[in-house]
Structure 1
Amino acid sequence: MFLIVVTNNFGEIKSSVFKKFSPTTLYSIVAADVVERFQLCCDAFIVSLKLATAASPRATSLAAVCSWLCGVFLLEIAVDWVKFLYLVKFNNIQATAFDEYQHVLLADVLLSRVPQAQRHLLPDGNFKVPCRGMYAFSHIPTRRIGFMELPIVTLIIACLPVVSWTSPSTLVYALLGWLCLFVSKVLLSLMIVAFATKRRRNLRSMEQSFGGVNAL
């Protein structure tokens, strides 16, 4: 895993640093890095799950894996820091462009739920929410960053330990786990909406060119 990440990082630097980017086209690189960081977290969860359900788990092996995972994350942060440093410097991109990316996602969160608010938040009318009215509210911002959740969910389900569903205790634990995930999803959604609502005034200053940014 460490070798794959290192090779991928060198490939990213070679393919992106020496290209010309504008503030709007740089969004695709930022979105890809966000998705990659979340996928690394999922990989770490799967590795931890495999170690926890092993026949004879050892504390030394778990500590070794955790140290490797921390090294991978630190390497990712360092490489991305250097990459974006060069991209922003040599393309003369203002650091405020990253704030504009956040405003785009906040607009997706708010306008997907309350379409009538667009004339108050973005009166120019050039901002388009992708697939509004077709997908769930939470799915619209994920489309903007190019995240596909189905492969990750399938991989995690495939790595879950085999259990006997005929046992009542197993059904109770499964129900409690589902309820915990459901409550976490609702609370996280409320927190995101509250975060976007507090910063809704910043959407008025968003440049029109950022309304069409999208992931690869």
Structure 2
Amino acid sequence: MLVSNNFAEIKGNVFKRYSKDNVQSLVYFDSVERFHISAFILFVLAQNILEAEGPWFESFLCNALVVYICEVMIDIIKHSFVAKFNDIKPIAFSEFLEDLCNQMLNIQTENAKKNLTFVPLAPACVVIRVFRPVYAAHLPHNPFLWRLFWIFVLFAVTFVMLASLKMMIGMGLQKFARWYIMRCQKRKLHSD
């Protein structure tokens, strides 16, 4: 009897510390965590390029897919429990996504929450750590000036690739934000 009462007390208190505003920070931290997982998978990919022998790419893709699927399933379960124990309706997640889309498009609303930011220092350190041994393995062992030239070329190519990737992700996010805001506005017009 005592054990079941303690379990009910623990179960009731674990997820009851969230309000509608706290759920937004929970979703934000999950998205940052997914980005960090992507950086770590990039690190594992680079290590495999350097050290793996034989056909390894298919097993790498399968393992990376398993990591992402498990992460999504864990987040779904976590958010379901938080929403259930705090009486948070599913519309709260839609409102949060709408706020993020407004932030992406720099649209100020009357009930705007605080701006969510992303600090790229940790993923940048991982990217530097990943590329350094990959490039070191492929640098020529010729005279110092020739080696220095290739270090500069690889640095420039890496910078251009990362800047292009950032711009493409930004354009994709802006396109999605415009589409989602239009969808929300149409839904609000039909509900009135």
- Displacement of 1:150 in angstroms is 0.5
User: After superposition, what is the alpha-carbon deviation per residue over 1:176-215, rounded to whole angstroms, capped at 9, x for unaligned?
Assistant: 3322322232233223223323444537999xxxxxxxxx
**What residue number does 2:45 align with?**
48
- Displacement of 1:98 in angstroms is 1.1
Q: Does 1:81 align with 2:76?
A: yes
Q: Which amino acid aligns with 2:121?
A: L
Q: Which residue, 122, 126, 132 being the options, matches 1:151?
A: 122
Find the aligned partners of 2:93 and 2:56 in 1 and give their Cα distance.
39
Q: TM-score scaled by structure 1? A: 0.62
Q: Which residue, 157, 168, 171 being the options, matches 1:176?
A: 157
* Structure-2 change in CA distance of 1:184 and 1:166 (3 Å): same
Q: Does 1:32 align with 2:29?
A: yes
What is the CA RMSD across the aligned residues, in angstroms? 3.3
- Displacement of 1:149 in angstroms is 1.0
- Displacement of 1:64 in angstroms is 5.1
Find the aligned partners of 2:65 and 2:100 in 1 and give their Cα distance.
29
Q: TM-score scaled by structure 2? A: 0.68
Query: Which runs of 5 or more structure 1 residues have no equivalent in the other structure?
Result: 1-13, 112-116, 131-140, 207-216
User: Contact between 1:108 and 1:129, CA under 8 Å: does it hold in 2?
Assistant: no
* Structure-2 change in CA distance of 1:126 and 1:51 (3 Å): same
Q: Which residue, 18, 22, 26 being the options, matches 2:19?
A: 22
User: Contact between 2:40 and 2:126, CA under 8 Å: does it hold in 1?
Assistant: no
Find the aligned partners of 1:86 and 1:128 in 2 and give their Cα distance.
24
Determine which structure has greater relative contact order: mean sequence separation of CA pairs < 8 Å that are 6+ residues apart, divided by chain length.
1
Mark the structure with the bigger radius of gyration: 2
Higher helix content, 1 or 2: 2
Q: Which amino acid aligns with 1:93?
A: I
* Structure-2 change in CA distance of 1:78 and 1:17 (3 Å): farther
Find the aligned partners of 1:28 and 1:189 in 2 and give their Cα distance.
21
Q: Which amino acid aligns with 1:127?
A: A
Q: Which amino acid aligns with 1:80?
A: D
Q: Secondary structure at the match of 2:128?
A: helix
